[in-house]
Chain A
Amino acid sequence: MTTYDKLIAADLDSLGSESRQQLRTIDAALTAIGVSRGGRVMRSPGESPAPGGGELALLRLASVFAHRVARAAGGAMAVACAVALLVILRNPFGYDVEESSPGAFRYIVGRWWSGLLDGGGVSIAAFAGVLLAGAYVVAGRTAERAFERRLQRAIDGGQGAQDPLEVARRLVRRADGWSTAFAIAGPTSIAVLFGVVMFVVGAASWGSFWFTGYSVGDLFEARLRDLTIAIPVVVLAAFAVGRACTGDPRCARGLRWCRALEHPATVPIGSVLGLATLLVGLSFDSGIGFPMPLDRLDSTSALRSVLTATGGAAIFLVTAGVTLRRRGREQARAGL
């Protein structure tokens, strides 16, 4: 053993002894995390929180609340993008690029829409991604401030002062259902829309199908019909899951579904189903944007509608599995 080894051993001994000096008592340690021996979990209303203890729990709850609100906002933005794209693709105003004298409104709206759609799938996805990220960041920041203001009001409430931890927990619980619902509905609806449309148009511009889709039969039109059914179904299913997560006693059956979706096998099952859908689609039913002989295109094929349904179910399973498992971890972290 060298001199330095001896010195290191001696110093580590000193460190060990020093670390055992002036230990905080078990009662102080328990109070710091909001637990007391009497069996109470949190301190009484109006009592100032122990340094670093109650604040720590509040910080955790603030972080969970901000993330939940941000996820809800991002998901809502994704649903809005999916619905807006679907409406644009359905062309409700009947804009026609070859029309000789369109009305001013139809002309302006049509130019804007066609400009967006001419960008192709990648630029549309990038545009939607920017909107989603913006909504996530802005909502997260706003939620943090709203949380602070709400807690400040609870603390400054005079006679009616409430336990800040209880108020914080209530806020976090209230955001639970919305965040779960939109976190599932948003990514699922936009992924289904992009998946189905990209499967039809491939790398080509969406606008060219918007204007000339009818020249390839009702291939494009039929997929929009499928999407018009699939997206509301996905959103409704996500809201059912979100409502069940709020613990509403009327949703006992929904709660069982939630537990099933939270199972670790859900994501792998969804991934396998998605891959199988992709494989079948590429083998038998790829769209006109792919190198596929035109005579194999059958716009009335029921297979396309089935693939839309299975693809939607696969994406739903994956997003629901991921969202619910993350929610479970958050619940444990926030002590809910």
Chain B
Amino acid sequence: MEPRVERFVRLIEPVHPRALAFARCLCRSRTDGDDLFQEASLRAFTRLDGLRDDGAFRSWLYRIVISVHRNRCRRSFWGRLVPFGDGGATEDGARAGHEQDYRASEWSPDAAEASQRARAALSRLPAVQREAIVLLEIEGWQVEEIAALQRVSASAVKSRLVRGRARLRAYYEKQLGAAGVPSYVRGDVP
């Protein structure tokens, strides 16, 4: 029988980049995303013996990421009430962490601004809607796959997507209403 460590390394290696990127998209900053993925991979490692089908590892790992993310969302409610030591739990803290991420990267200012706007908008969504939108729009999953991952029906996922998009639109309208839509998008309007 293959040792657990070797089995874990073999399974996580191909899915690691996408799963880490997914975790980063769910969080308010890249650092928070790294922490989320780390906790999820630790949980995956400790529970690996419970996974019978190696072919299902990717969705199993994503499900763990989602589960850890939801736990953190619940915890952040208390974090908002008692925000000591957790920069990511507050708006300013998230922005500070985000700026720190960009100082370390070579990302262009426009793209950085767009990405930051998307993060801020996504953070306004309930966790289930945020997960559905990230999986569909960024990760390129099918609605049926998301439904299996979130353990709901396809119609429930569609409903989450519609509501999530409506909330995103409302947020953008509110935030950009006065400032206007950036020129690089305005030029594309038919």
Interface residues, chain A, with chain B CB atoms under 8 Å away: 2-24, 26, 29-30, 32-37, 39-41, 52-53, 56-57, 60, 332-335
Q: Quick check: B185 and A3 within 8 Å, CB to CB?
A: yes
Cα A7 to Cα B183 in complex, Å, equals 10
Taking beta carbons and an 8 Å cutoff, which residues of B are in contact with A?
Answer: 3, 5-6, 8-9, 12-13, 16-17, 20-22, 24-25, 30, 33-35, 37-39, 41-43, 45-47, 50, 104-105, 107, 111-112, 114-115, 117-119, 121-122, 133-134, 137-139, 165, 168-169, 172-173, 176, 181-182, 184-186, 188-189
In contact, A35 and B173 (Cβ under 8 angstroms): no
A11 contacts B25, C-beta separation under 8 Å: no
Contact B39–A21 (Cβ < 8 Å): no
Q: In the complex, are the beta carbons of B117 and A11 less than 8 A apart?
A: yes
B172 proximity list for chain A (CB < 8 A) = 4, 7-8
Question: Which DSSP category, helix, strand, loop or mixed, fits chain A's interface?
Answer: helix
> A3-B186, A19-B25 are known contacts; what are 4 more A-B pairs with Cβ within 8 Å?
A6-B185, A11-B117, A19-B24, A334-B46
- For A10, give its contact among B30, B34, B114 (CB under 8 Å): B114
Whether the Cβ atoms of B25 and A15 lie closer than 8 Å is yes
A39 touches B3 (CB 8 A): yes
In angstroms, Cα B10 to Cα A37, docked, is 9
The residue on A at minimum CB distance from B114 is A14
- Which residues from A are CB-within-8-Å of B118? 8, 11-12, 14-15
Contacts A11-B121, A37-B9: A335 and B138 contacting too (C-beta < 8 A)? Answer: no
Set of chain B residues within 8 Å of A56, measured between Cβ atoms: 38-39, 42
Contact of A52 among B22, B35, B185 (CB under 8 A): B35
Closest to B102 in A: A18
Between A and B, 20 residue pairs with Cβ closer than 8 Å are A6-B188, A8-B169, A9-B137, A11-B114, A12-B133, A12-B137, A15-B115, A16-B21, A16-B137, A18-B105, A19-B138, A23-B16, A24-B34, A26-B13, A30-B9, A37-B9, A53-B42, A332-B46, A332-B50, A334-B46
B111–A14 touching, CB < 8 Å: yes
CB within 8 Å for A12 and B138 given contacts A3-B181, A21-B107: yes
Kindly state the separation between the CA atoms of A15 and B119 in the bound complex, as whole angstroms.
7
User: Which residue of A is nearest B25, CB measured?
Assistant: A19
B12 → chain A closest CB, angstroms: 7
Residues of B within 8 A of A57 (CB): 42
Chain A residues near B16: list those with CB within 8 A.
Answer: 23, 26, 29
Q: A11-B117, A19-B30 are in contact. Are A35 and B169 (CB under 8 A)?
A: no
Residue contact A23 to B45, C-beta cutoff 8 Å: no
Cα–Cα distance between A17 and B17 once the two chains are bound (Å)? 12
Cβ–Cβ < 8 Å partners of B112 in chain A? 18
Determine the chain A residues whose CB is within 8 A of the CB of B33 once the complex forms.
19
Point out the residues of chain B lying under 8 angstroms from A35, CB to CB. Answer: 5, 8-9, 45
B50, B117, B165 — most chain A CB neighbours (10 Å): B117
CB neighbours of B46 from chain A (8 A): 332-335
With A19-B24, A56-B38 already in contact, the answer to whether A8 and B138 are too (CB < 8 A) is: no
Q: Are B104 and A20 in contact (CB under 8 A)?
A: no
* Structural contact, A24 and B20, CB atoms closer than 8 A: yes
Please give, as numbers and ranges, the residues of chain B lying within 8 Å of A32 by CB-CB distance: 38
A189 to B46, CA, bound (A): 35
Which of A3, A15, A39, A57 is the most central at the interface, judged by chain B CB atoms within 10 Å of its CB? Answer: A15
The interface residues of chain A lying within 8 Å CB-to-CB of B165 are 5, 8
Contact B38 A18 (CB under 8 A): no
Residues in A whose Cβ lies below 8 Å from that of B188: 6
Q: How many angstroms from the CA of A23 to the CA of B188 in the assembled complex?
A: 32
With a cutoff of 8 Å between Cβ atoms, the chain A residues found around residue B47 in the complex are 332
Top 4 nearest A-B pairs by Cβ distance? A11-B118, A16-B138, A14-B114, A19-B24
Rounded to whole Å, the gap between the CB of B55 and the closest CB of chain A is 20
Please report the C-alpha to C-alpha distance between residue A52 and residue B165 in the assembled complex, in whole angstroms.
34
A7 and B181 contacting across the interface, CB-CB below 8 Å = yes
